């Protein structure tokens, strides 16, 4: 009887122990995986997950990708809070930068199984005495992620860069978390290259490409290393980028054709591109657009200037004429577009002759201007 009782208690206790081991990441048992794809033993526990060194999902490289602007801005790492002030990791900034290299999110969140993104600690446990030698500990995991890149360009391994000893002054950058979380890497405004050509100067308006032309950093910076921009020992300009290849991915040009060369090469700095030179002034609404909103492909050729070429739904009743800065009086409210804009040529002077004899625009108006005419 006694034996039975103790057996009962053992079962209860063991049961408790087993059930209190909540799965490491939410619903991971529901992931399309077999337990033994990751765990080598039958009863993995939190402390000893007995992860096989390279489960199949790792080989397949399953990882989660998220757009860099949709991630946590700051991550506080305070595992060693007893010795150091917490390290504040600018997560979003790093996400943006890693999008420029081959890895993306996966360069740190390596081999994330299907489901939520896991924190390092879910697989990498604290402490140097580990039950499972095949999975590196938390300290090694953190430092491996940070130092492998940082020492490439800082050429040192100073702890102080991330760890401030308890009670010491915070590092430059302070503790203004809002400011820290909003920090973005400043974008180079203009780069002037000096080449060996007859017309040596190439002026590259870097900010225009990112702000106006609608390019993402990653459109040109596809395979960067951290050191390319951050190396303390090498000047950025010394690092060659494949210029023609990069430009040609958008600008059609024949490097054997002198006329094409002159599009970029000059004897002096070229002014930035002005859309007005094409005969179409960008103003009001249109200057908020990026090139690719209207132009497609790599040839930025002349577009059909008819409004409805783009604004397909501009018809009677759907178009609010007031956006042009002109409103109709009662008599003209219900007019058809083509009554005044012959053949829908909105870039040409409207006519009144369809209904009126001897009345011309703009001597007589079918309503009034509410503001200076700017629409184009």
Partner 1 sequence: MNQSRRNFIKTAGVIGAGIAGVKPDKVSAGPKNILSDDRMGVLVDTTVCIGCRRCEFACRGAHDIPNGEMKDYDDRSVFENMRRPDVDALTVVNQFENPENTARPIDVKVQCMHCDQPACVSACIVGAFSKQENGAVIWDTDKCIGCRYCMVACPFQVPAFEYEKAIQPRIMKCDFCFDRTKDGGIPACVEICPMEALTYGKRFELVKLARKKIEANPDRYINHIYGEHEVGGTSWMYLAARDFKELALPEHSDAPAPGASESIQHAIFKYFIPPISLFALLGGIMWMGKNKNGNELESGE
Asked whether position 153 contacts partner 1 by CB under 8 A, the answer is yes
Stretch 77-116: interaction string toward partner 1, x if CB under 8 A: ----------------------------------------
Asked whether position 133 contacts partner 1 by CB under 8 A, the answer is yes
Asked whether position 61 contacts partner 1 by CB under 8 A, the answer is no
In Å, what is the CA distance from 94 to each residue of 60, 72, 100, 146? 24, 11, 10, 10
The pair of structure tokens assigned to 255 is 């490097």
Asked whether position 366 contacts partner 1 by CB under 8 A, the answer is no
Of residues 104, 108, 113, the one with CA closest to residue 25? 113
In degrees to the nearest 10, what's the CA dihedral of 114, 115, 120, 121?
-120
> Quick one: which of 60, 158, 329, 354 contacts partner 1 (CB under 8 A)?
158
> Quick one: which of 15, 61, 67, 140 contacts partner 1 (CB under 8 A)?
140
Of residues 278, 271, 281, 272, the one with CA closest to residue 301? 278
The pair of structure tokens assigned to 263 is 């599009």
Report how far residue 176's alpha carbon sits from residue 74's, in angstroms, rounded to the nearest whole number: 11
Report how far residue 228's alpha carbon sits from residue 238's, in angstroms, rounded to the nearest whole number: 9
Q: Among 63-71, 88-96, 131-139, 177-185, which window interacts with partner 1 (CB under 8 A)?
A: 131-139
Q: Among 39-47, 101-109, 134-142, 314-322, which window interacts with partner 1 (CB under 8 A)?
A: 134-142
> Quick one: which of 82, 128, 169, 245 contacts partner 1 (CB under 8 A)?
128
Q: Closest approach of Cβ 86 to partner 1, in Å?
A: 16
Q: Closest approach of Cβ 127 to partner 1, in Å?
A: 9
> Quick one: which of 157, 287, 296, 331 contacts partner 1 (CB under 8 A)?
157
Indicate the burial class of 100 (C-beta count within 10 angstroms; 0-12, 13-18, 19 or more): buried
As a whole number of angstroms, the longest Cα–Cα distance in the chain is: 117
Q: Which is nearer to partner 1, 84 or 205 (CB)?
A: 84
Q: How many residues sit in the footprint of partner 1 (CB under 8 A)?
A: 27
Of residues 243, 247, 244, the one with CA closest to residue 300? 247
Q: Closest approach of Cβ 175 to partner 1, in Å?
A: 22
Q: Which is nearer to partner 1, 155 or 311 (CB)?
A: 155
Of residues 205, 204, 200, 203, the one with CA closest to residue 267? 200
Stretch 198-237: interaction string toward partner 1, x if CB under 8 A: -----------------------------x---x------
Specify the 3-state DSSP secondary structure of 105: helix
In Å, what is the CA distance from 16 to each residue of 2, 9, 35, 45, 160? 21, 10, 21, 13, 44
Residues 123/101, Cβ–Cβ less than 8 Å: no
CB atoms closer than 10 angstroms to residue 102: 11
In the block, which residue shows the tokens 């399309």?
32
Asked whether position 137 contacts partner 1 by CB under 8 A, the answer is yes
Q: Is the dihedral of CA 163, 167, 173, 175 positive or negative?
A: positive
Q: Closest approach of Cβ 140 to partner 1, in Å?
A: 3
Asked whether position 134 contacts partner 1 by CB under 8 A, the answer is yes
Among residue numbers 231 through 250, which ones bind partner 1 (CB under 8 A)?
231
Report how far residue 168's alpha carbon sits from residue 189's, in angstroms, rounded to the nearest whole number: 37
Q: Among 35-43, 60-68, 151-159, 237-245, which window interacts with partner 1 (CB under 8 A)?
A: 151-159
Q: Among 24-32, 125-133, 187-195, 206-214, which window interacts with partner 1 (CB under 8 A)?
A: 125-133
> Quick one: which of 147, 164, 281, 282 contacts partner 1 (CB under 8 A)?
147
Q: Which is nearer to partner 1, 234 or 269 (CB)?
A: 234
Query: Which residue(s) pair with 327 in the sheet?
Result: 368
Q: Which residues bind partner 1 (CB under 8 A)?
A: 53-54, 128-130, 133-134, 136-137, 139-141, 143-144, 147-148, 151-153, 155-160, 227, 231
């Amino acid at each position: 009887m006694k034996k039975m009782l103790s057996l009962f208690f053992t079962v209860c206790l063991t049961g408790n122990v087993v059930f209190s081991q909540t799965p490491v990441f939410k619903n991971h048992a529901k992931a399309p995986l077999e337990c033994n794809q990751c765990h080598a033993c039958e009863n993995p526990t939190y402390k000893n997950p007995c992860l096989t060194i390279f489960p199949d999902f790792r080989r397949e490289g399953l990882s989660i990708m998220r757009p860099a602007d949709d991630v946590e801005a700051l991550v506080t790492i305070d595992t060693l809070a007893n010795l150091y002030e917490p390290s504040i990791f600018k997560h979003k900034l790093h996400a943006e930068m890693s999008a420029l290299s081959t890895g993306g999110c996966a360069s740190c969140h390596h081999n994330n199984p299907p489901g939520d993104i896991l924190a390092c600690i879910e697989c990498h446990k604290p402490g140097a005495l580990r039950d499972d030698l095949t999975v590196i500990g938390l300290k090694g995991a953190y430092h491996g992620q940070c130092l492998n890149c940082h020492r490439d360009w800082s050429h040192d391994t100073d702890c102080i860069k991330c760890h401030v000893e308890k009670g010491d002054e915070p590092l430059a950058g302070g503790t203004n978390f809002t400011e820290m979380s909003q920090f973005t890497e400043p974008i180079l405004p203009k780069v002037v290259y000096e080449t060996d050509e007859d017309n040596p100067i190439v002026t590259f308006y870097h900010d225009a490409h990112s702000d106006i032309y609608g390019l993402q950093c990653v459109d040109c910076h596809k395979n960067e290393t951290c050191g390319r921009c951050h190396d303390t020992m090498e000047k950025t300009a010394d690092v060659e980028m494949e210029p023609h290849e990069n430009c040609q991915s958008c600008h059609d040009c024949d490097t054997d054709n002198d006329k094409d060369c002159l599009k970029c090469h000059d004897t002096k700095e070229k002014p930035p591109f002005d859309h007005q030179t094409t005969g179409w002034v960008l103003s009001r609404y249109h200057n908020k657009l990026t090139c690719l909103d209207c132009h497609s492909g790599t040839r930025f050729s002349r577009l059909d200037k008819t409004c409805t070429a783009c604004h397909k739904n501009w018809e009677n009743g759907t178009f609010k004429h007031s956006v042009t800065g002109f409103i109709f009086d009662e008599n003209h409210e219900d007019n058809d577009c083509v009554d005044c804009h012959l053949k829908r040529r909105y870039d040409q002077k409207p006519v009144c002759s369809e209904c009126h004899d001897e009345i011309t625009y703009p001597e007589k108006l079918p309503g009034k201007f509410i503001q200076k005419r700017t629409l184009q």
